[in-house]
Amino acid sequence: MPIMGRCNVNRRLTIPVSVSNGEAPFREIQVEIDTASDDGLGLSPQEIAELGLMLSDDTDLRLNGTSGATLSYIAYVEWHDGPIPVNVVETDRPPYAGMGLLWDSYLTGYLFPNGAVFVNRMVHWDDIKREAQEE
């Protein structure tokens, strides 16, 4: 089942993402798609605190193109086949999903105001072989 969003009036592709710290219930956040970012998610310090995200075991500072060096956090996101851990960085811009989250997905966007956006799970040959062997 695809993750569905919209192209907003600012020409940004947006999707809803359900985020949790792994213990609390998932909370839906509307994020912009940023294919220039390697991060999983970029969230404001306030959103990170509200979600109760923990610092990543890798405490090295990450470079975030718009806000300089920043700490890295871990979140869980409802994504295609279930919750997955993703890297989260602090940002001073609107929440975004980067390639760290979108990797192995097929992205389609209709680029006009309110145009549909779809993020589908990529099907890999290894998945097809494994599923055939399980039958």
Q: Report pLDDT digits (tens) over 48-70.
A: 999 999 998 654 455 545 545 66
Helix (H) or strand (E) segment spanning residue 51 = helix 45-51
Q: Thinking of the domain 3-134, which architecture would CATH place it in?
A: Beta Barrel (2.40)
Return per-residue pLDDT of the chain as tens, 135 residues. Answer: 889 999 998 899 999 999 999 999 999 999 999 999 888 999 999 999 999 999 986 544 555 455 456 678 999 999 998 899 999 999 999 999 999 999 989 999 999 989 999 999 988 777 777 777 887
Q: Give the domain ranges of the chain.
A: 3-134
Neighbour count for residue 105 (Cβ, 10 Å): 17
Please tell me the predicted confidence (pLDDT) of residue 94. 94
Smallest Cα–Cα separation from 74: which of 38, 48, 35, 105?
48
Please tell me the predicted confidence (pLDDT) of residue 68. 56
Q: Is 73 exposed, middle or buried (0-12, 13-18, 19+ CB in 10 A)?
A: buried
Please tell me the predicted confidence (pLDDT) of residue 124. 75
Whether pTM > 0.85 for this model: the answer is: no
